[in-house]
Amino acid sequence: MKHMQNSLRTDEPVYSLATSESPSAAEVCEPPKTVLVVDDDPMVRELETQVLHVQGYKVVAAEGAAEALRLAGETATIHLLITDLLMPEIDGIELTRRFRALHPTTPVLMVSGSLPLLHARTHMDMDGFAFLAKPFHFSELIHKVRVLLDTAAPLPIRKQWCCD
């Protein structure tokens, strides 16, 4: 362990998921991906919205299932649904079922502090479905979003400009 500590240099760059080789949505020359974020906790919803917005996504936010379904009906293309599991009016599983009636191929990221409960209650098609346990680091959220969006529709590879 001591050898490892001595070999670390403070002048070398530090790499994280936020600076990984995958380009952010803003770095790709195409319209931004639209993400619908649903959480009844205003602080969590706002933080998720800000993190995704900084990554270049167009974010539409809803405080509950009714608002989310209204937005889903008004928005032609939603590339990803991020929803909390436990909400007062309709839980995230039922929201997902109703949402998929409008956007059947859109991937879903279920966020919950009760993942064992989620696995026990889920009896739906799991394609394009992922889970993220609360509490989570923002880098985990960004990584999950990128994986789900890339699996649904891979990002185009940026072409390098060259002068021959």
Given CATH 3.40.109.10, say whether it is the number of domain 28-152.
no
pLDDT in tens, 79-103: 999 999 889 889 898 999 999 999 9
DSSP run (H or E) holding 124: none
pLDDT in tens, 4-34: 333 333 343 333 344 444 555 445 557 899 9
Lowest average pLDDT, out of 43-57, 95-109, 120-134, goes to 120-134
pLDDT of residue 127 exceeding 70: no
DSSP code at position 42: H
Whole-angstrom distance, CA of residue 101 vs CA of residue 105? 9
Whole-angstrom distance, CA of residue 138 vs CA of residue 146? 12
pLDDT at 30: 72
DSSP code at position 91: -
Sign of CA dihedral 78, 108, 126, 101: negative
Q: Which residue has the higher pLDDT, 115 or 81?
A: 81
Whole-angstrom distance, CA of residue 85 vs CA of residue 87? 6
% of the chain residues with pLDDT over 70: 66
DSSP code at position 83: E
Q: How confident is the model at residue 162 (pLDDT cuts 50, 70, 90)?
A: very low
pLDDT at 152: 76
In the chain, where the domains are located: 28-152
Whole-angstrom distance, CA of residue 32 vs CA of residue 34? 6
Average pLDDT, the chain: 78
